[in-house]
Structure 1
């Protein structure tokens, strides 16, 4: 798999994780 594709997936994954962490209260276990 090309590095560009891996980087795109990695960046999108991090954005999704960050969005989930900021959208879900810490009390519900957003931060592990």
Structure 2
């Protein structure tokens, strides 16, 4: 039960971090293009 709760909290955290990571890459690529 506790492990399921941890996974439920961990998944959104991983998704949020991946989004931030992708946004940073997008910003860097835009700066290179400009």
The TM-score with structure 2 as length reference comes to 0.64
Between Structure 1 and Structure 2, how many residues are aligned?
A: 26
| Unmatched tracts of structure 2, length 5 or more | 1-6
Highest RCO, 1 vs 2 (Cα 8 Å, sep ≥ 6): 1
1:18 to 6, 21, 24: 24
Structure 1 residue 19, shift from structure 2 partner: 0.4
Q: Give every structure 1 segment of 4 or more consecutive aligned residues whose post-TM-superposition deviation is greater than 6 Å.
A: none
Q: Which has the larger radius of gyration?
A: 2
The TM-score with structure 1 as length reference comes to 0.68
Mapped to 1, the partners of 2:22 and 2:10 lie a distance apart of: 18
